[in-house]
């Protein structure tokens, strides 16, 4: 990984897409700073498309798509995307409603067994708003447990037949082979008439944890918050660049650079 400051200006200045995780990327200590929200709004005002990709639940993503300055949200680690359209929300899912309901029953049973097996964990408080996955809390509303425990929980879910990933606060589990990247690709094709390979020189992805690995691998301009170095990840799963700060502090480094370079380009074009 290289320091984010070494990312060439030609990439950041010509940005067309800002794609980002939310928890511990846009947030810091569980809070979304006003400066981050303002930065998203300012970046979007330049004509850059802002797309958020998160493990958070459908209920949260509906609110984000409605009220945040974004062009789309991919949620529950890739099971859907929500896109604001003229005051309403377009919802696209991997699975139909019956499949989602059946999978959730299976997953809830798995999660209850796992919480019983791992003292100090709990079912995540946001589970009631989830439509396709479950989350086991190891660091949000419980006393933080070592990442080794989260990795053991992840392996346990996989052993039960689920797909599972570790985030900075939860272990998320779902039924299916989709991930953040596969739904992002579908969103690009269906809604923006383009493909990932066509935007790699003008799109930045920011993230912080193992569930961002598919995006880190695919994006040439992938940026990890400093805390990403705390995880045991294969070299190919790591981001290409690294911020100095954690969470929102790291993201604001990226946002400041985007806005600074965009201002430079406007001045140059008008000179």
Percentage of the residues of the chain whose pLDDT score is greater than 70: 94
User: Cα–Cα distance between 161 and 208 in angstroms, integer?
Assistant: 26
The dihedral sign for the CA sequence 155, 158, 162, 167? positive
Task: List domains and CATH numbers for the chain.
Answer: 2-94+178-270 (3.40.50.1000), 97-174 (3.90.1070.10)
Q: In the predicted model, what is the mean pLDDT of the chain?
A: 93
pLDDT at 263 over 80: no
Give the pairing type, strands 122-123 and 133-137.
antiparallel
Provide the pLDDT confidence category of residue 15 given band limits of 50, 70 and 90. confident
Give the pairing type, strands 49-53 and 72-75.
parallel
CB neighbourhood size of 185 (10 A): 15
Q: What is the pLDDT of residues 102-132, one digit of tens each?
A: 999 999 999 999 999 999 999 999 999 999 9
Q: Residue 218: what pLDDT?
A: 96
- Beta bridge partners, 81, equal 74, 92
Q: Is the pTM higher than 0.85?
A: yes
């Amino acid at each position: 990984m290289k320091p984010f400051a070494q990312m060439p200006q030609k990439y950041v200045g010509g940005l067309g897409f800002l794609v980002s995780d939310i928890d511990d990327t846009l947030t810091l200590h569980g809070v979304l700073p006003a400066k981050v929200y303002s930065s998203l709004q300012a970046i979007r005002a330049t004509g850059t498309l802002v797309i958020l990709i998160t493990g958070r639940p459908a209920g949260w993503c509906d609110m984000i798509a409605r009220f945040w300055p974004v062009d789309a949200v991919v949620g529950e680690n890739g099971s859907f995307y929500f896109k604001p359209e003229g005051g309403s929300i377009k919802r696209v899912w991997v699975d139909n409603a019956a499949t989602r309901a059946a999978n959730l029953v299976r997953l809830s049973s798995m999660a209850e067994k796992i919480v019983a097996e791992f003292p100090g964990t709990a079912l995540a408080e946001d589970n009631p708003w989830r439509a396709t996955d479950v989350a086991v809390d190891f660091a949000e509303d419980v006393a933080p447990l070592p990442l080794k425990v989260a990795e053991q929980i992840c392996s346990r879910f996989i052993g039960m037949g689920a797909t599972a990933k570790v985030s900075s606060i939860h272990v998320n589990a779902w039924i299916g082979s989709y991930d953040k990247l596969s739904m992002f690709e579908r969103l690009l094709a269906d809604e923006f008439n383009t493909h990932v390979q066509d935007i790699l020189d003008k799109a930045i992805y920011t993230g912080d944890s193992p569930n961002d690995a598919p995006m880190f691998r695919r994006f040439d301009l992938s940026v990890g918050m400093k805390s990403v170095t705390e995880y045991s990840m294969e070299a190919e799963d790591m981001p290409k660049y690294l911020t100095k700060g954690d969470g929102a502090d790291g993201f604001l480094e990226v946002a400041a650079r985007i806005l600074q370079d965009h201002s430079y380009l406007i001045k140059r074009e008008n000179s």
